[in-house]
Structure 1
Amino acid sequence: MTFSMKRIMAIFQKDMKDLSKNMYITSTMILPLFFAFFYGRMDNLTIEVHYLVINLVLAVVTAFVQCAIIAEEKEKNTLRGLMLSPATLPEILGGKSLVSFILTIGTIFICAMLTGYEPVNLSLVAIAIIVSILFYITLGTLMGLLSRSVIEASVLIMPVIFIFGFASMFQPFAENYPILSIVDYLPSIQLIEVAAAVESGSGFADVVGNLAIILAWSIVAMIATAIVFKKREMDE
């Protein structure tokens, strides 16, 4: 079975049409935009504040929208049809992920304008953000496959938003609670470290370790998603 861009675009167009009618899902973009507008009125924002907003976009928009798209397919009993269609797993997930990817890029761009964030090395920051988007899309897909409805997806995604979206707030407590030092390895914290290194003049070689950690998270999430997807394909 050959890879087909036509099938990907057909799935993408269908999901965009469905998403435009679902204000409950699209309204999630308001939260990071609100934070961006609020912080944008302040002076001399630190890199941590800029990335509090960006990480919130990744958790609230990327992961939740992707999760809700998959969960809605399950709720309407249309995901089973997609699984049995000629479309392959990469085509199905690629078409659905394209929606979340475009919404994420657009929201991050608007938030960066509102907060006045202008990275020193845009290309390197863009690479880090795209690798991060890959992780959050995969995580959202996994959460969606584990959900039975959009409402249930909203509940399951809350820990993701709290842990990954606000991870930087836990770091100051790591000295008193050593177990919290694990947050240093979360993708959201690694993204902040990449951005901070870029601002200090570091190049790709200096942040390749951080990017590798984010990519490792993505690979683990992909493997888990593929396993759950195949299980749903056989069980349903």
Structure 2
Amino acid sequence: MNISLKRVNAIFQKDFKDFSRNWAVSSVLFVPIGLGFMYGRAGVEDLTSHYLLINLAMAMVATFVQCCLIAEEKEKNTLRGLMLSPASTMEIIGGKSLLSFILTLGVIVLTSYLSGYQPADTAVIVVAVVLSSLFYIAIGTILGLYSKSVMEASLIVMPVILIFSLGSFITQLADSYPILKVALYLPNIQLIELATKVEAGGSFGDVLVELGIIAAWVVVSFIATNIIYRKRMID
């Protein structure tokens, strides 16, 4: 399948203009950045705390922003026209995901810098964060397709932010409530496990299981996004 970069870029530029005019949505960028600054000033060095910020950044930026961008298209009744345009599914989803992806990585880099987090192996962490970001963007796309307005999107995304940013606290209750052990396989928890191994001197070969689980989440979320998107095309 040939992908037109011109169409992807056109969708990206439109989203950038819409995003820059919507302060209610763009203000979420400052939450993880502000917390990162506070963590840095407080001298927080705990790895779990750093990844609480990183997972929060992905949930609030990748998922929330992506969800609102899709919901805004639906609210303005322009998504249907985009779906029926000559642009392919990959071009539309890719174009509408590009802004969320760039913003997410930018916020994570700035937040990590302000909080003082310096990974032992940057390459491994970058791969894991990129994979995780793709998962969160896919979730945001799915939620956006189910939302009817930006206001509804702001509400429907809240459980995702809570589960994936505070999931590390849920796992602490796994011994008392065995059913919660399922949470150990969530991508945010696997990212923390991966980072822990990296800090202990692990390389790519030592974190293949964690990367594999995160990649599996990405594949499943992408398949679900494609199915739901195509279903919305014929609704």
Q: Would you say 1:138 and 2:138 are equivalent positions?
A: yes
Q: Matched residue of 1:215: which SS?
A: helix
Alignment-derived partner of residue 159 in structure 1: 159
The CA distance in 2 between the partners of 1:170 and 1:30, in whole Å, is 26
Question: 2: distance between equivalents of 1:128 and 1:2?
Answer: 28
| Counterpart contact for 2:135–2:217, Cα < 8 Å | yes
Per-residue CA shift, 1:61-94, capped at 9, x if unaligned? 1100000000100010000011011110110011
Spell out, residue by residue over 1:36-61, the C-alpha distance to the aligned partner (whole angstroms, 9 max, x if none).
Answer: 12221223511111100000000011
RMSD of aligned C-alpha atoms? 1.0
Whether 2:23 is the aligned partner of 1:23: answer: yes
Aligned partners of 2:32 and 2:57 also within 8 Å: yes
Deviation string for 1:148-206 (max 9, x for gaps)?
11111111101100000111111221111111111110000001111111111111111
Aligned: 1:211 with 2:190: no
Residues of 2 paired with 1:174 and 1:34: CA distance?
31
Distance 1:149 1:12 in 2: 20
Q: Secondary structure at the match of 2:195?
A: helix
TM-score (norm 2): 0.97
Change over 3 Å in CA distance of 1:37–1:44 after alignment to 2: closer
Residue identity opposite 2:91 in structure 1: E
**Overall identity of the aligned pairs, in %:** 53
Instruction: Give the Å deviation of 1:231.
Output: 0.9
Letter in 1 for 2:200: S
Normalized against structure 1, the TM-score is what? 0.97
Say whether residues 1:71 and 2:76 are aligned partners: no
Give the structure 1 partner of residue 109 of structure 2. Answer: 109
Q: Give the secondary structure class of the aligned counterpart of 1:151.
A: helix
Separation in structure 1 between the aligned mates of residue 44 and residue 5 of structure 2, nearest angstrom: 45
Q: 1:194 and 2:222 equivalent? A: no
CA distance in 2 between partners of 1:85 and 1:148 (Å): 21
Task: For residues 203-225 of structure 1, give each alpha carbon's deviation from its aligned partner in whole angstroms, at most 9, with x where no partner exists.
Answer: 11111110111111111111111
Which structure 1 residue ranges, 5 or more long, are not aligned? Answer: none
Distance 2:46 2:168 in 1: 13
Match of 2:45?
45
CA deviation after TM superposition for structure 1 residue 16, in Å:
0.3
State how far apart, in whole Å, the 2-side matches of 1:5 and 1:62 are. 22
- Aligned residue-pair number: 235
1:185 partner letter? Y
Structure 2 gaps, min length 5: none
Distance of 1:45 and 1:176 partners within structure 2: 28
